[in-house]
Amino acid sequence: MSERLKPGDTAPDFTLPDADGNEISLASHQGRKVIVYFYPAALTPGCTKQACDFTDNLELLANAGYDVIGVSPDKPEKLAKFREQESLKVTLVGDPSKATLEAYGAFGEKKLYGKTVTGVIRSTVVVDEKGLVEHAFYNVKATGHVAKIIKDLGI
């Protein structure tokens, strides 16, 4: 299992394809705060709820100085379908190799319906303007998580 990040750690940089196949990197957001959230799969109920919550609050978060990037192991084609089907405005990137998921401690053993499985651990990491971890939330719930982040960040 990969190491979980803690406040003060340097956030691992990444460059991943978005829903249109364009390369998105964490480094290109330097100077802005970034909420990087990790979810198991596009087009599933919990992940749809979470992505819609981020989309609904995107303007509020942007006005507070935060960009939002959603990371899953999906390929760009599936992300594009997800974005179109749900009218998502949040930036979605795919990590089929799971290297970024592992670097952020968002892939490993977890409990699913009482069984231990290996997969994406629903997580959110808030990165500051200098690329340092400000907050790291692991094993979060899809529902209500965005509201909790907004509250925790004092937005």
> Which are the catalytic amino acids?
47
| Selection from 155, 98, 87, 150 nearest residue 124 by Cα | 150
Question: What are the strands, taking DSSP E only, across 4-142?
Answer: 15-17, 23-25, 33-38, 66-72, 91-94, 107-112, 115-120, 123-127, 133-138
Q: Kindly tell me the burial class for residue 23, based on how many C-beta atoms sit within 10 Å of its own C-beta (0-12, 13-18, 19 or more).
A: exposed
Opening angle at CA 106, ends 93 and 32, nearest 5: 55
CB atoms inside a 10 Å sphere around CB 60? 12
d(CA 32, CA 141): 26
> How far from 143 is each of 46, 48, 107, CA to CA, in Å?
7, 10, 20
